[in-house]
Copies of this chain bind each other. A is one copy, B any other.
Amino acid sequence: MKKPDAVSSVDRPGTRKQRTGRPFDHSSDRLILASTLDLLAERGYERLTLDEVALLTGKAKSTLYRRWATKEELVLAAIRSVGRPPEIDHLPDLGSLRSDLLAVVDSPWLGSPDRRLAIFAGLTSATRSSERLANVVRTEVTEPYVEVYRRLLNRAANKGEIPADYVAGIPILANVIPAMSTHRLDTSRTPVHRDFFVSVIDNILLAALHMQAD
């Protein structure tokens, strides 16, 4: 692991943290939270330590603890820092349901599909250790993705792409990709690759909708 360019550890005035009243350099939050996600992706929640985040970012451990009292707090902040999947505001529209579903899988959000899937694997491991983290992953990641898929399926139905007999299945089918993704991480603990999502889309989702692959 490479240590990034040194970050100033001098606290700046005027950015006071409520809890302690001691100054903290908020400008380095982004680096710290991104590094937290990198470590979470690399080794999972159990093996993530504040020491390593400090090492990776060039910050003093005490500085990190002053801002985030526990590993749980740091990871919560990291999850919240990424926001919701951008597809929820900008649905892909590539001309077919399958292309649009694959565009979500292939999204560059969070750097690249590989980094994003590794982060999601780390987040799944975090939900094993903390009910709070499980709740935040649910509301910030899982449920927004269900909403993205629901919108894509409803739009395809409105355009007449989905045979009428299968439209009733949309509400439950919108859950299939997130459900299978979590299940896959729970049961095999190895990275999920694009092939897995292609199989879920073709063998489950489009097959259940009686839509042929392009």
Q: Which residues of A contact B (CB under 8 A)?
A: 46, 127-131, 134, 138, 142-143, 146, 166, 168-169, 172-173, 175-176, 178-180, 182-184, 186-187, 199-200, 203-205, 207-210
Nearest-Cβ distance from residue A141 to partner chain B, whole angstroms: 11
Residues of B within 8 A of A46 (CB): 131
Assembled-state Cα–Cα distance A209/B128 (Å): 33
Which residue, A134, A143, A176, has most C-beta atoms of chain B within 10 A? A176
Assembled-state Cα–Cα distance A182/B184 (Å): 12
Residue of B with least CB distance to A131? B128
Assembled-state Cα–Cα distance A176/B166 (Å): 18
Please state if A183 and B178 are interface contacts (CB–CB under 8 Å): yes
Partner of A203, one of B138, B168, B186, B199: B168
Residue of B with least CB distance to A175? B183
Task: State whether A182 and B180 are in contact (beta carbons under 8 Å apart), knowing that A130-B128, A203-B168 are contacts in the complex.
Answer: no
Please state if B187 and A138 are interface contacts (CB–CB under 8 Å): yes
Partner of A208, one of B127, B178, B208: B208
Please state if B169 and A203 are interface contacts (CB–CB under 8 Å): yes
Residues of B within 8 A of A168 (CB): 203
Please state if B142 and A172 are interface contacts (CB–CB under 8 Å): no
7 residue pairs, one from A and one from B, having the closest CB atoms: A179-B183, A169-B203, A207-B208, A208-B208, A179-B179, A179-B180, A128-B134
Residues of B within 8 A of A128 (CB): 127-131, 134
Partner of A186, one of B134, B173, B180: B134
Nearest-Cβ distance from residue A62 to partner chain B, whole angstroms: 29
Please state if A204 and B169 are interface contacts (CB–CB under 8 Å): yes
Assembled-state Cα–Cα distance A199/B200 (Å): 18
Assembled-state Cα–Cα distance A207/B170 (Å): 12
Nearest-Cβ distance from residue A149 to partner chain B, whole angstroms: 12
Nearest-Cβ distance from residue A137 to partner chain B, whole angstroms: 9
Partner of A175, one of B142, B169, B180: B180
